[in-house]
Amino acid sequence: MENTFIAIKIGLTGYLFLIGVLFVFFLLTKLFVKLFSRGEKGGKE
Amino acid sequence: MLSVFYNGILSVTFGNIVMIVIGLTLLYLGIKKEYEPAPLIPIGFSTILVNIPFSSAIDQIVDGVLHRGVLNIFFDIGIITEIFPLLIFIAVGAMIDFGPLLENPVMFLFGAAAQFGIFATMVVATLLGFSIKEAASIGIIGAADGPTSIYVAGRFAKDLLGPISVAAYSYMSLVPIIQPAVIKLLTTREERKIKMEPKSVKMDKKVKIIFPIAVTDVSGLLAPSSTTLVGFLMFGNLLKECGVLNSIAKSAQNELANLVTILLGLSIGSTMTAEKFLRPQTLFILLLGLVAFIFDTAGGVLFAKFLNLFLKRKINPMIGAAGISAFPMSARVIHQLGRSEDPTNYLLMHAVGANVAGQIGSVLAGGILIALVGQL
């Protein structure tokens, strides 16, 4: 049972950390694409 | 003197026969059913090789002297050193187009959410009596990514490498069966019919070149343990996107991928001996692999439904399920499922975006697990 508690702790930490890191990627990519992309196809350039 | 020739036949055990049948089954699945043939055929064939009594393909001690078998040598130089899975990452990176993800960066979130199965299965595995390191290696089957599973299991549970690899590749090929069932259970028909506008952003070439470098740097700074995994994946992608190494990129996509897949499969097969494979744990691992894929899909779908609570433009929750790493199979499955509900619904590019995010998510998850479990 002790192993299970450790696994829950690792699982929660790992999962939330992973979501956090990919959230940072999301923000950075959004910013990055805004800076470098040339607007939407067929839209205003 | 002649006993040399019939000793092998006389020494066949029931375990050897069962394992040879398992090897033949893997060959059947790979050749006849075309379930992940590239890894399953080498694994199946080497399973037969290692279960022939006194096989010279694996280590044998004769008169107290160790005679090294080539499959064990492959295992030592490719799996123990982690070289083979890392080389596969270069090949995979050279095959991926991150364009759909760059056009729709919100898909990054699904690449994280759909890794839920890794962590949830790890907890379930400890309830079945596995140690933390074994449980982490079993949970990583949920990465839906063979090389990541092999990389983590090679570090924490070498004895379980055979069943973990077989489970990882088998369930990847069963994505078209597993995912639709879980999605239908968790979504309404109306939700599955949600249409998503196509995103068409003209991407500057610079973006695609900088992206793999930036991802490597950022993930390395936030999760240093993932640097190797993410770095090799992104290096492969840089080869593809830089535009000046087309011949090398093609070699990575073809020759490197093919050669290393053969060696990786043969190396994994070297662990498929009767004494290592025919244990109750193997059955648990195969079951837990299925649990991991189910939890992954559920995690992605439920996360999309959660996001929809706050969004004006709703996301089709099926897209969440494409956040697993099984690329491009999962994206195709989601697209086809969407079309079966509404033939005018075109979800492919969104699903591909989530799917390639899943590639990044799965290798990051592997790195995070190595860091968290490795320090115990």
The pLDDT score that the predictor gives to residue B204 is: 80
B194 Cβ contact list (under 8 Å, min separation 6): B314, B315, B316, B317
How close is the nearest chain A Cα to the Cα of B340, in Å? 29
d(CA B322, CA B348): 10
Would you call A22 an interface residue with chain B, using a CB distance cutoff of 8 Å? yes
- B67 forms beta bridges with B60
Look up the domain containing B138 and give its range. Answer: 3-374
Average pLDDT, chain B: 93
Eight-class DSSP state of B278: S
Q: Which amino acid is at A22?
A: L
As a whole number of angstroms, the longest Cα–Cα distance in chain A is 60
Q: What are the tens digits of pLDDT across the range B114-133?
A: 999 999 999 999 999 999 99
Q: Considering its fold, how many domains does chain B have in total? A: 1
The set of residues, in sequence order, having a beta carbon less than 8 Å from that of B350 and lying 6+ positions away, is B100, B104, B107, B196, B199, B316, B319, B322
Q: Is A16 on the interface with B (CB under 8 A)?
A: no
Please give the mean pLDDT across all residues of chain A.
84
How much is the pLDDT for A39? 55
pTM of the model as a whole: 0.89
Residue A31 contacts B where some CB pair is shorter than 8 Å: no
pLDDT in tens, A1-45: 899 999 999 999 999 999 999 999 999 998 888 887 665 544 443
What is residue B334's three-state secondary structure?
Answer: helix
A22/B126 CB distance under 8 A: no
Q: Rounded CA gap, B219 and B226, in Å?
A: 7
- Chain A residues whose beta carbon lies within 8 Å of the beta carbon of residue B118: 14
Angstrom CA distances, B325 to A17, B24, B336, stand at 18, 28, 18
Displacement of CA B276 from its chain's centroid (Å): 21
Mean pLDDT to the nearest integer, B241-251: 95
- Does residue B101 carry a pLDDT above 90? yes
* CA–CA dist B209, B188 (Å, integer): 40
Q: What percent of chain B has pLDDT over 70?
A: 99
Task: Give residue A44's pLDDT.
Answer: 41
Concatenated DSSP letters of B213-231? HHHHHHHHHH-GGGHHHHH
- Convert the pLDDT of each residue in B24-63 to its tens digit: 999 999 999 888 899 999 999 999 999 999 999 999 998 8
Residue B122 with chain A: CB contacts under 8 Å: 7, 10-11
Please, is B309 exposed, middle or buried when counting C-beta atoms within 10 Å of its C-beta (0-12, 13-18, 19+)? exposed
Question: Is residue B202's pLDDT more than 80?
Answer: no
- Residue B41: closest CA among B57, B33, B52, B29: B29
Residue B312 has a CB neighbour count (10 Å cut-off) of 5
Contact check, Cβ <8 Å, A21/B132: no
Chain B hits for A13, Cβ within 8 Å: 372
What's the mean pLDDT in B259-285? 92
Does position B72 have pLDDT exceeding 80, yes or no? yes
Q: What is the DSSP string of B50-117?
A: HTSTT-TTS-EEETTEEE--HHHHHIIIIIIT-HHHHHHHHHHHHH---HHHHH-TTHHHHHHHTTHH
CB B246 within 8 A of CB B94: no
Tell which of A2, A8, A13, A36 to mutate to test the B interface (max B CBs under 10 Å): A36
Say yes or no: B365 contacts chain A, CB-CB below 8 A: yes
- Cα→Cα distances A42→A28, B28, B347, Å: 25, 50, 20
Are B222 and A36 in contact (CB < 8 Å)? no
For chain B, the farthest-separated pair of C-alpha atoms sits apart, in whole angstroms, at 82
Q: Which ipTM score applies to this complex?
A: 0.87
Among A3, A23, A28, the residue with its CB nearest the CB of B126 is: A3
Pairing type for strands B65-67 and B60-62 reads antiparallel
Mean of pLDDT values over B144-159: 92
Long-range contacts, stretch B238-242, CB < 8 angstroms, 24+ apart = B238/B93, B238/B209, B238/B212, B238/B213, B239/B90, B239/B93, B239/B94, B240/B93, B240/B94, B240/B95, B240/B96, B240/B97, B241/B205, B241/B208, B241/B209, B241/B211, B241/B212, B242/B209
Nearest to A41 among B202, B207, B373 (CB): B202
Contact predicate B237/B93, CB 8 Å: yes
The residue length of chain A stands at: 45
Separation of first and last alpha carbons in chain B: 53
